Every structure is written in structure tokens, then in C-alpha cells.
Amino acid sequence: MESERTSDPWSRIFTGAVLILAGGSLLLNRLGYRVPLPDNWWALLVLAVAVSSFLKSLGHYRRDGFFSRAARSAFLGGLALTLTAAVFLFDWDWDKVWPLFLVAAGVSTIIFPRGRSAHPSDAGESFDGPKC
């Protein structure tokens, strides 16, 4: 079986490129060259980690051939990080936004029950639902 490192090169390439760009931009600012960055530039790094998580999810999906537990975890992590980054980038009020995390957790629990595989041949289930 392929290792995690060789199975998902796009996630690593994207993450590395973002770190290089962020470090270069911050270095140029420190050296006196003006690189336009938002006041909450670090939220862009959170968003970059979210995109990397989505790419990792896609890599798992392509490797496994179905939306496996690893693909689901990476995807849901990416959604949570995207929402977190959006709160900071757009100055949304946490008091109004945090219930979305509960809604997302509830939807995830209904769609992806814990302990069950998304692939029917792994758990002896059909996509119609669990056997009673």
C-alpha cells in the first residue's frame, strides 16, 4: 500500500507553496517592501490549511475509490477550518456563527455514522441503510 507521503502530492505541494509565499511576504514586509496583506493575514494561513485538507480528502477518495473514513475526516476538517477562517476574514460575530458548527456536526452524524464504513462491501451493508 502507498504511504501517506506518496499518495497525496498535491496537498504537500499546495501547503509548501503557501508557506513559501507567506514567509516571503512577511520577510519582504520586514525588509521595508510593502506587500499588501490584510490585518488578519494569519486567517489566510488557516484557510490554506483548509484547502490542504480538502486536497487530502480528494487524494484519499481517488486512492480508495470511495468516500472512506479518512476522506470524510479530512473533508469535515476542511469545512470546519474554512468556516473558522471566514469568521476572521469577514469579521463575523462568533456569537452568531458558532451554532453552525453544531449544525455541521449533526449533519455529519446523520450522514456519516461512526463505526460504519462508507463502502458497502466493508461492513456488509447496502447504501440503502444499515441492516436491522
CA dist 75 and 57 (Å) reads: 5
Which pTM does this prediction carry?
Answer: 0.68
Query: Is 37 domain-assigned?
Result: yes
Mean pLDDT of the chain: 79
- The number of distinct structural domains making up the chain is 1
Q: What percentage of the chain has pLDDT greater than the value 90? A: 13
- Contact assessment for residue 117 and residue 85, using Cβ atoms and an 8 Å cutoff: no
Query: Is 124 domain-assigned?
Result: no
Range of the domain at 32: 7-118
Query: Is 123 domain-assigned?
Result: no
pLDDT at 117: 53
pLDDT in tens, 76-112: 899 999 999 999 988 899 999 999 889 888 887 887 7
